[in-house]
Structure 1
Amino acid sequence: MWNDNAQIVDTYVDHFGSGRGVVREELVDRHILEHLGDELDGRRIVDFGSGAGQQTIRFAERGCHVTLVEPSPLMMDRARARLAELPTEVGDRVTMVCATAQEAAAELPKASFDAVLSHGVLMYLDSPVPLVTIMVEAARPGGLVSVLTKSSEALAARAGFQGDFATALRAFEQAETTRGWLGVDTRGDSVAGLTDCLAGLGAERLAWHGVGVFSDHRDDLDGRSAAELATLVELEYRAGRIDPYRGIARLIHVLARRTA
């Protein structure tokens, strides 16, 4: 659908300019920065399934050398348009690879990236293992691995909070799969499952956060002021770090460090 449906691609890209999208980006960015540190100049980052670069291009603006790996030419077009609005030196720090993660992994140097990201991708795959394997192999020893995906343990939350109780009830019978906001069935993963997967590949979990505790189910955030959204980000940040709040978030953000 990403290769030939411009409407879905535009809907996806536009989402990150919405209130919910802004909150998600800010939270994930903050989590990553906590583990990358302040010295970002020259750091090497690769993003598998980068979309339009909505999460990663900001690292190029901070001086990082960024590789966007994205199989959809339509998404790559949106990323180029985004870069065209930024200073030339930012674009010079961005490498764009239009390929699947598997295709790109065969060409990219292994064990060489300071941070390896994949956000909002695992939910579209049958299993997390192939992509997480590629991610860990791409990270240098001590490098950061950042995975954002749908939680398999809170599938009923969004529909329930929105008052769609029948859909929420069905979520308990559907194992790991529910329909996402793009109208596509997507699956979830658990923190424990991802932690075990990462550990088996030589990456130790550093932290995990819930993303969207108070905001994922809302459709009234676009009219909120910048100050209100900033307050929401702070609320989400605090809630997403502690139980029981993070356990009901639709998205989970797992961060790990390659140890082997």
Structure 2
Amino acid sequence: MTRQLDEQISGRFPVGRRLRVLDVGMGRGTQALRLARLGHQVTGVEQDTAMIAAARQAVAQEPEGIRERVRLVQSDGQDTGVHFLPGSFDVVLCHGVLMYVEEPDPLVAGLARMLAPGGLLSLLVRNGDALAMRPGLGGDWAGALAAFDTTAHVPRPRTDSDAGIPVRLRPDARADRLAALTATLAGIAAPLHAWYGVQVFTDTVADAAPVPDDVETLLAAEERAGRTDPYRRVAALLHLCGVRG
């Protein structure tokens, strides 16, 4: 996903331009810190206490020049209009958040309002058109049949292997369909510009599985599949990029 995001940023903005980035639901700040290291001014928003504490700790370990480019706000991301003025950001990230929001349209519209004209909105969502893939490949035929008729999704229990922090797990997790989000983005004047699949081949791999020796080849295969039909359409996650008109 990082490669996909960088492709969209480099294709929209001049090389060397310092961007204003808003990362809503930043987790422990992986993308926020990466972009700050590249010279961008980043505001990270996170609701979970453990996650934002981990992000603050990570920021504190960075050199001063990077620390001063990062601002952290504890919030659920649905009140961006309270914290920021419309048009305040060149790039808005919202990765892995919509699956925990019952009605995503108001949140997406609020995020789009934060974008300056020509700004990039990056969404990472659970793919509601491919929910039968994981149970089907795992031999859970009843689960596969049930998944065709729902957008409800219960993620596997797992722990962030790098930080030992439990990943957000809620019984009301849900997924989004590509056609519905495409219509939403068009309706809020940030039409879909590009989209990718994420975790096309690796969604069913056990969390405890060791990283393979040929991980770069694995990433190359995932990246190629994530931009190629029909593979990207059955990815576990979708990465959608809208552009503010």
Do these two structures clear the TM 0.5 threshold for a shared fold by scoring above it? Answer: yes
CA distance in 2, matches of 1:55, 1:120: 12
Mapping 1:222-241, distance limit 5 Å: 222-225=209-212, 228-241=214-227
Asked whether 1:130 is paired with 2:116, we answer: no
Cα deviations by residue, 1:182-236 (Å, 9 ceiling, x for unpaired): 35331111111111101110012111111000011111774234x5221111111
Asked whether 1:176 is paired with 2:131, we answer: no
CA distance in 1, matches of 2:175, 2:194: 18
Q: CA deviation at 1:79?
A: 0.3
CA distance in 2, matches of 1:164, 1:48: 34
In structure 2, relative to structure 1, the CA distance for the partners of 1:217 and 1:75 (3 Å cut) is: same
The answer (yes or no) to whether the contact 1:101–1:134 under 8 Å persists in 2 is: no
Structure 2 residue identity aligned to 1:127:
E
- What's the secondary structure of 1:163's corresponding residue? coil
Structure 1 residue identity aligned to 2:123:
V
Q: CA RMSD in A?
A: 1.7
Once the two structures are overlaid, the 10-residue window that deviates more, 144-153 or 75-84, is 75-84
The answer (yes or no) to whether the contact 2:45–2:73 under 8 Å persists in 1 is: yes
CA distance in 2, matches of 1:220, 1:59: 26
Give the equivalent residue in structure 1 for 2:53: 77
In structure 2, relative to structure 1, the CA distance for the partners of 1:189 and 1:138 (3 Å cut) is: same
In structure 2, relative to structure 1, the CA distance for the partners of 1:220 and 1:228 (3 Å cut) is: farther
- What's the secondary structure of 2:86's corresponding residue? coil
CA distance in 2, matches of 1:235, 1:67: 32
Cα deviations by residue, 1:216-260 (Å, 9 ceiling, x for unpaired): 1111774234x522111111111111211011111000001100x
Give the equivalent residue in structure 2 for 1:204: 191
Instruction: Give the % identical residues.
Output: 39
Structure 2 residue identity aligned to 1:136:
A
CA distance in 1, matches of 2:178, 2:16: 28
The answer (yes or no) to whether the contact 1:71–1:100 under 8 Å persists in 2 is: yes
CA distance in 1, matches of 2:190, 2:74: 27
Give the equivalent residue in structure 1 for 2:162: none
The answer (yes or no) to whether the contact 1:239–1:246 under 8 Å persists in 2 is: yes
Mapping 1:1-260, distance limit 5 Å: 28-37=1-10, 39-173=15-149, 175-182=150-157, 184-185=170-171, 186-219=173-206, 222-225=209-212, 228-259=214-245
Whose helix fraction is larger, Structure 1's or Structure 2's?
1
